[in-house]
Structure 1
Amino acid sequence: MKLLGLFFLLFNLFVFSFSRKLLTKSGGLHDDGAVLLKLKSSFSDPNGLLSSWVSDSSSNHCSWYGVTCNSDLKVVSLILRGCDVGEGGSGSTSRGLHFPDLSSCSSRRLGGEISPVVGGLSEIRVLSLSFNHLRGEIPKEIWGLKKLEVLDLKGNSFIGGVRVLDPLKISKLVGFSSFSSNVVLRKLMSYEGEDDIGPSPADDDSSGKSGLYPIEIASIVSASVIVFVLLVLVLFFLYTKKWKRNSQIQVDEIKEIKVFVDIDTPLTYEIIVRATGFFSNSYCIGHGGFGSTYKAEVSPTNVFAVKRLSVGRFQGDQQFHAEISALEMVKHPNLVMLIGYHASETEMFLIYNYLSGGNLEDFIKERTKPAMEWKVLHKIALDVARALAYLHEQCSPKVLHRDIKPSNILLDDKFNAYLSDFGLSKLLGTSQSHVTTGVAGTFGYVAPEYAMTCRVSEKADVYSYGIVVLELISDKRALDPSFSAHENGFNIVSWAHMMLSQGKAKEVFTKGLWETGPADDLVQVLHLALKCTVDSLSIRPTMKQAVKLLKRIQPNRL
């Protein structure tokens, strides 16, 4: 205990000394609040739009106008849009581009320039400063923001405008329905001219200021070494003290598997790991956002799909056990069955029933004869709709999938469809929506309002379902390479609308499907898919409504 007390004493002295030096040299902490205040000083704000941005001990920068933070008080979204009066008044949008509602927008706009200090917002994902009176050059520091996903600078007077990137690259990275070339850019890690970006905001702030003196550097290094050595000693002491007491318990926990379904063979950690070839690539049958999936043939009659999760995705074992316990109660004929799971500090995996028909993505690519039969395609669309309707309306709390795409829809040998990866995102309570600190999902399938605001609801799943149905009935992908000849952001939704407007509805459907019909039913499904992908959430149908429509036009059963 004396050793531990000495460690904390020296650590506190080190932190105090080092903090004083930084404060003395820089004049303040370089947190996101300070960056925002510097950014404010570069703007002209005649109407007091940023009046809440004040340096006050009682003011939290996360509560300032236009600012959204994550749980670490780091800025993840900054939206200071003026009025789009040049495009039809407040709240108007370019065709296919989705922005938040601007019904309360007035004629207030910011002026001035964008300060290079914006590069200090290291966690920012969405930056929207469109329809203001900003001028000058766009700071190159913006392209150094590694986590920036959406950049909206339309409607300003920048020198040279907004850099125009390759249209195909933008459409693949952003995944919105349609937008003009200079509106929204996804930050590219291989941004051309990267070598010319120049100094970071921190480098600019330090110009003309002297660095630490050698004696100060030596003091900091010495203190760091002392802290490190003491920390190693403390950790070693605690580890050796607890190792004997917990070693047997830890071994037992590592090999434990929790099974939910009665099967005719015992499942142990060693059996599952050995059946996957110790998670060998030769046994891998798929990759997803939560991890890789492996085939595990325990016996001729017991074949499983084992999804190996990335350790660290969950905050700890308690969170993992709590979410899996909730999933045990989520059961539906069109959901992949959860057999059991294993969770320890070094390994986490889920055990599902194995489906021999592969996934819908491969089914669409191959386009064999069954993939062109209306009864088969209708059945798949209806099965997925039923699964989503169950998750949205019959589960308590409701379950939002957030990553609906063909590779997450599995098939058996009779073309029954099963939704996988459900429930591995955050479970919601009774609220209608939830604000997250990051966007889950895949570009091309993510709902535009979710990508822009990180606000997700069941209507985001409805949007993704509409994209899947369009891929199912056509020969196009969500972000098909053939769309590169059109404007930036042109995707399968834009293409389907174009075909309808030109009276070419039958050209939407995969070869041979229109001729075998019935054409009226095909058109109804096409309209359902497009209605699922409209901008307005209130117009999008619920999955229960989608199920009702599909059942009404159900062909003769297989």
Structure 2
Amino acid sequence: MKRMFLALFVLLNLFSFSFSWKLLSENAIHDRTVLLELKSSFSDPHGVLSTWDPDSSPNHCSWFGVSCNSDSRVVSLVLRACGDKGSSSSSLRFLDSSSCSSARLGGEISPVVGSLSELKVLSLAFNDLGGYVPNEIWGLERLELLDLQGNSFTGVRVLDNAGIKLRKLMSEEEGEDEEASPDDFPDKNGLYPIEIASIVSASVIVFVLLVLVVFFIYTKKWKRNSQVLQFVEPKEIKVFVDVTTPLTYETIVRATGYFSNSYCIGHGGFGSTYRAEVSPEHVFAVKRLSVGRFQGDQQFHAEISALETVRHPNLVMLIGYHASETEMFLIYNYLSGGNLEDFIKKRSKPALEWKILHKIALDVARALAYLHEQCSPKVLHRDIKPSNILLDDTYNAYLSDFGLSKLLGTSQSHVTTGVAGTFGYVAPEYAMTCRVSEKADVYSYGIVILELISDKRALDPSFSSHENGFNIVSWAHMMLSQGKAKDVFTKGLWETGPQDDLVEVLHLALKCTIDSLSIRPTMKQAVKQLKRIQPSRL
């Protein structure tokens, strides 16, 4: 009897955990849907919201201007145009000016924005927006900052020459919003209460500062020729590889156009990547990380130094890095062939040649086997997906972003499951228990192989007619059970063969994604199997 109650207790806890995890996913998906509806209400002739595309970037937390919390709920939406920085409010100085857009959005604000229940910051300043400000904004209980100045809204009083700036006004009765009344504004020749409070506060602060300065001068007995000690943030670059050209902070930042969108070549969970051409012979990829994501200077430098020793022909080479309180970026070798995600989408002739597909699969397997078997301690990637696999001009594959999950910890922008990883590629045992092993990387690798040989994505839209949880693995098993193995492969690949080798790779991918960890092969075993069916050299 006691054992029966214990088993029932465990089952109830598993059910509760599964339900809460599913609810978390549904909330995140809800926010992504709201963002897409909001996008449709804007006119965007210059493509400011081009990254808001669930097909190319299913993780909405990596979209331009969007920031999320650890549950992938949207907490900040900053779509601020850069055209009138001189008029920006001092209260908004904390907003990252590099995130503003040189182009402007038009149209109106959709009331659907009121559905972003976790939203704390909303900035749409200096765009060409019009119409009425939706009342639903005032129902956002967590909203702390609303900046709509510099637009052309209807029915809103212009507060000052800087533009329209709205603040949340709440009644004394809990949960009940109220409109701003004429009494909330000053007379034509008067001052705003906020301005009076600001003047008084500024005066007090200035007085206190003066007292502190005088006290400091007399206690330290400064002399006329004494030097004022100031903290100057170091702007150094630590270089691991001899690249025959001096790499300085200014050189790298200037080569990225000061991290301009026109130089951006990719967005990921850890930050955006920019092309930096220092000279015609020296082109780099610079991954700009979110400031404050690491857990301390010493730990960050130690982890980066450890990554410097991780070298393999199929790993993107870490050339150097810069880390300070205001800026962090990693410098890698630049690969002109793009990433595997784009390679699969285009499906040009090379993407249908078995020799090339086999080479890509083997290159990635070799890189993972090196991280798992030859690094001490072993390196777990935890975010294997096509966008993290880069290609050169001859279709050699290179694994990127290795070691970043451990270096930066659990992300608040790219994690959609509460663990490091991306929906559709995360192993089920990792998603449910948060316990990671090298077998989680093996599972993600199997998903990538299925995408490489088929026309389906990990969570393909065509799977929506099936039950929840149906993915590319379920689809491939269904095809095999129905005797339709050839229908798994992208059009043209099965016809050119060799068909026996294609089927063997399909079985390897499914074995990598099996639930049982003991049955999943190691990456070393996957390399051995792929080498056994290796076609003649290209």
Q: What is the TM-score normalised by the length of structure 2? A: 0.61
What is the one-letter code of the residue matched to 1:399?
Answer: V
Q: Which runs of structure 2 are paired with 1:396-407 in the superposition (5 Å)?
A: 396-407=376-387
* Kept in 1: contact 2:372–2:380 (CA 8 A): yes
- Deviation sequence 1:145-187 (CA, Å, 0-9, x none): xxx64359xxxxxxxxx99x99x99x9999xxxxxxxxxxx99
- Deviation sequence 1:16-55 (CA, Å, 0-9, x none): xxxxxxxxxxxxxxxxxxxxxxxxxxxxxx97x9xxxxxx
* Kept in 2: contact 1:295–1:305 (CA 8 A): yes
487, 498, 516: which is aligned to 1:536?
Answer: 516
Q: What is the TM-score normalised by the length of structure 1? A: 0.59
2:491 match: secondary structure: coil
* Kept in 1: contact 2:460–2:471 (CA 8 A): yes
Correspondence for 2:364: 384
- Give 5+ residue unaligned stretches, structure 1: 1-45, 50-81, 84-104, 112-125, 132-141, 143-147, 153-161, 175-185, 201-206, 208-224, 429-436
Correspondence for 1:460: 440
Q: Which runs of structure 2 are paired with 1:102-141 in the superposition (5 Å)?
A: 106-108=7-9, 128-129=15-16
- Deviation sequence 1:310-339 (CA, Å, 0-9, x none): 011101221210111000100000000111
Correspondence for 1:30: none
479, 490, 496: which is aligned to 1:510?
Answer: 490
- CA 1:356–1:130 in structure 2 vs 1: closer, same or farther (change >3 Å)? closer
Once the two structures are TM-superposed, the CA of residue 128 in structure 1 deviates from its matched residue by: 3.8
- Give the Cα–Cα distance (whole angstroms) in 2 for the partners of residues 482 and 362 of structure 1: 20
Q: Which runs of structure 2 are paired with 1:155-554 in the superposition (5 Å)?
A: 247=230, 250-251=232-233, 253-254=234-235, 256-426=236-406, 438-554=418-534
- Give the Cα–Cα distance (whole angstroms) in 2 for the partners of residues 273 and 258 of structure 1: 15
1:106 match: secondary structure: helix
- Give the Cα–Cα distance (whole angstroms) in 1 for the partners of residues 318 and 11 of structure 2: 53
Correspondence for 1:180: none
- Deviation sequence 1:365-422 (CA, Å, 0-9, x none): 0000000000000000000000000001100011000000000000000000000000
* Kept in 2: contact 1:355–1:412 (CA 8 A): yes
- Give the Cα–Cα distance (whole angstroms) in 1 for the partners of residues 228 and 295 of structure 2: 25
- CA 1:317–1:245 in structure 2 vs 1: closer, same or farther (change >3 Å)? farther
- CA 1:427–1:247 in structure 2 vs 1: closer, same or farther (change >3 Å)? closer
- Give the Cα–Cα distance (whole angstroms) in 2 for the partners of residues 193 and 418 of structure 1: 38
- Give 5+ residue unaligned stretches, structure 2: 34-53, 60-70, 75-111, 118-135, 143-173, 175-200, 221-225, 409-416
Number of aligned residue pairs: give it. Answer: 373
What is the one-letter code of the residue matched to 1:106?
Answer: A
10, 19, 22: which is aligned to 1:150?
Answer: 22
What is the one-letter code of the residue matched to 1:282?
Answer: S
1:426 match: secondary structure: helix
* Kept in 2: contact 1:128–1:151 (CA 8 A): no
Once the two structures are TM-superposed, the CA of residue 246 in structure 1 deviates from its matched residue by: 5.5
- Give the Cα–Cα distance (whole angstroms) in 2 for the partners of residues 513 and 279 of structure 1: 40
- Give the Cα–Cα distance (whole angstroms) in 2 for the partners of residues 529 and 455 of structure 1: 22
1:487 match: secondary structure: coil
Correspondence for 2:44: none
- Give the Cα–Cα distance (whole angstroms) in 2 for the partners of residues 409 and 496 of structure 1: 23
- CA 1:482–1:344 in structure 2 vs 1: closer, same or farther (change >3 Å)? same
- CA 1:342–1:478 in structure 2 vs 1: closer, same or farther (change >3 Å)? same
* Kept in 2: contact 1:385–1:547 (CA 8 A): yes
Once the two structures are TM-superposed, the CA of residue 257 in structure 1 deviates from its matched residue by: 0.7
* Kept in 2: contact 1:466–1:533 (CA 8 A): yes
* Kept in 2: contact 1:150–1:187 (CA 8 A): no
RMSD: 4.4
* Kept in 2: contact 1:149–1:187 (CA 8 A): no
Correspondence for 1:213: none
* Kept in 2: contact 1:405–1:445 (CA 8 A): yes
- Give the Cα–Cα distance (whole angstroms) in 1 for the partners of residues 456 and 263 of structure 2: 30
- CA 1:526–1:289 in structure 2 vs 1: closer, same or farther (change >3 Å)? same
What is the one-letter code of the residue matched to 1:295?
Answer: R
Once the two structures are TM-superposed, the CA of residue 129 in structure 1 deviates from its matched residue by: 2.6
What is the one-letter code of the residue matched to 2:357?
Answer: L
- Give the Cα–Cα distance (whole angstroms) in 1 for the partners of residues 116 and 399 of structure 2: 43
- Give the Cα–Cα distance (whole angstroms) in 2 for the partners of residues 362 and 193 of structure 1: 31
* Kept in 2: contact 1:127–1:150 (CA 8 A): no
Q: Which has the higher contact order (CA 8 A, sep 6+)?
A: 1
Once the two structures are TM-superposed, the CA of residue 247 in structure 1 deviates from its matched residue by: 3.2
- CA 1:341–1:106 in structure 2 vs 1: closer, same or farther (change >3 Å)? same
